[in-house]
A and B are shown apart, each in its own frame.
Chain A
C-alpha cells in the first residue's frame, strides 16, 4: 500500500482537514438527494403552503415570541441584582404563566388561578433549589 496513501498534515492548517472532508461528502450527498428527489422537491411548494395554512399560528408564533422575550430579558433583568439568579426568577414566572395560558383551550377562572399558582411556585422552588441548595449560577 505504501506510498499511495501518503498524506502530510501541516499542524497549522490541520483545523481545515476534517471540515473540508466532511463538507465534500455533504455536498456529494446533497447533489445525490437533489438528483434522486428532484420531483418531490419541485412539488414541495404547495406542501409548505398547506403546512402554513394548517398551523395554529397564534400558539406557534406566540410560543416563539414569548420564548425570545424570555431569553432576552433574563440577563438585563438579572443585572440589577447581580449573581442572585433573580433575573431568571422574575422572568420565569410571567413566562410560565403566559405560555400556560396560551396553551390552554378554555380558560375558566379556576384553571387560570391554578396556572397562576403553578407559575409562582414552580419557578420559585426551582430557583431556590438551584441557587440556594446547589449553589449554581442563574442569570
Chain B
C-alpha cells in the first residue's frame, strides 16, 4: 500500500530502498481511457488551438516541465540530484521545472503518458536492474523509454560488517565461503542493493565453484532494517552506504553498533574525484582501500567488479528527439560553467555528465556486464 511513502515510511538515505516496483505497461490504461480521452480531445482540440495560438515550437521543452523521479523521498539522493540539475537547467533555459517525487512506478507511468516533453524523468541504475532481476512488472527502460544524459554518481554504495566480525576483508569473506561457512548478507532485493551481493556470489563462484551457495541473502528493506539485521545477529554483512554508515565505523569497537567497511563498490576513478577529506572521519585514501583494486571482488578472474550508482535522464520514447538535443546543449553549457559540479560535490556526488548518445552507450554496456553476472549466478548453480 502506498501510504508508506508519505506517512509512516522508514525512509533511509539510500534511494535504493525506496523503490516501488511494478508498472504494468501503460497500454492497459490507454485501452480503458480511449473512448473518453479521444472524444474529449477531439471536441476540445480545436478550442485548444485557439487558446494557444503561440504554441511553443515543437522541438523545444515547454515552459512548464515536470521532472518526475524514481523515488518517493524528497530527502534522498535521487531527489537532491534531480533538484540540483533541475534548478540549473531551468535557469539555463529560462523555463520552470518542478521535481515530483512520485516513485518509480508512477514516474514511469507519467513519462509513458506524455510524449510532448512536458514530463521528463531522472532515475538511476535501479531502472534497468529491476528489470534484470525480473522484479514483477519492471520493463526494460532501454526498450520502453529513451535513455538520456547521465548527470552524476553517488559513489556511496558499500558493504559493512560488525566490528566484532571475524571477517577483516572481502577476501576473508570469500575464503570463508570457499571453506564452507555460511555468510549472510542483508540487502534489499531486486536492484541496486542486490547487485553487489550478486557480484560477491559471482566472485565466490569464480574463486571456488560451488562456494557461491554459501553466500546467502537476508532480504530486508530500508537502511535501518539492514542495520537492525546486523545488530539482531541475523546478518554477517550488510549493504549500506558511505553517507549513512560512516559514523558507525567511528564508534568504539566494543559498541554493539560499531561497524567496519569491507567493500566500497565504486570505480576507483570515481572515488578519486571525491573530496580528499572524504566523509566524516574517513578520508578519500581510506575509502580507496575498500575499493578496487585494493579490495578486489573479481568479475571474471582478471577484472574487478565495480558498481557506480549513476543518475540519468529518461524520456518518453515518442518524444521529439530535438528536445534531447536541447537538453544536451543546455547541460553542456551548464557543466562548462562549472558551478553545478561544486554543488554536487558538496553533497558528496561525483559530477558525471555524458551527452545522451554517449550515456546511452555507456549504460547499455554497463547493463550488459551486470546481466552476465546475474545470469551466471542464477544459471551456473
Q: Do chains A and B touch in the complex (CB under 8 A)?
A: yes
Q: How far is the CA of A1 from the CA of B62 in the complex (A)?
A: 67
Neighbour of A83 across the interface among B36, B37, B44, B98, CB < 8 A: B98
Most buried by B among A11, A81, A84: A81
Q: Provide the residues of chain A in CB contact with B66, threshold 8 Å.
A: 82-83, 137
B41 and A135 contacting across the interface, CB-CB below 8 Å: no
The closest CB in chain B to the CB of A14 belongs to B219
**CB of B7 within 8 A of chain A?**
no
B65 and A83 contacting across the interface, CB-CB below 8 Å: yes
A80 and B44 contacting across the interface, CB-CB below 8 Å: yes
Using known A-B contacts A82-B118, A83-B65, A137-B66, determine if residue A76 contacts B40 with beta carbons closer than 8 Å: yes
Interface digits, A105-117 against B, CB 8 Å rule (1 contact, 0 not)?
Answer: 0000000000000
Q: Tell me if A's interface is mostly helix, strand, loop or mixed.
A: loop
Q: Provide the residues of chain B in CB contact with A84, threshold 8 Å.
A: 64
Q: How far is the CA of A63 from the CA of B52 in the complex (A)?
A: 33
**CB of B100 within 8 A of chain A?**
yes
Number of A residues with CB within 8 Å of any CB on chain B? 11
Q: Tell me if B's interface is mostly helix, strand, loop or mixed.
A: mixed
Q: How far is the CA of A77 from the CA of B66 in the complex (A)?
A: 17
Neighbour of A135 across the interface among B48, B65, B98, B189, CB < 8 A: B98
A80 and B64 contacting across the interface, CB-CB below 8 Å: no
**CB of A67 within 8 A of chain B?**
no
Q: Provide the residues of chain B in CB contact with A72, threshold 8 Å.
A: 36
Q: How far is the CA of A11 from the CA of B119 in the complex (A)?
A: 36
Q: Provide the residues of chain B in CB contact with A80, threshold 8 Å.
A: 44, 48, 51-52
Q: How far is the CA of A82 from the CA of B100 in the complex (A)?
A: 14
19 interchain pairs, CB-CB under 8 A: A11-B189, A11-B219, A76-B36, A76-B40, A76-B44, A80-B48, A80-B52, A81-B64, A82-B62, A82-B64, A82-B66, A82-B114, A82-B116, A83-B64, A83-B65, A83-B118, A84-B64, A137-B66, A137-B100
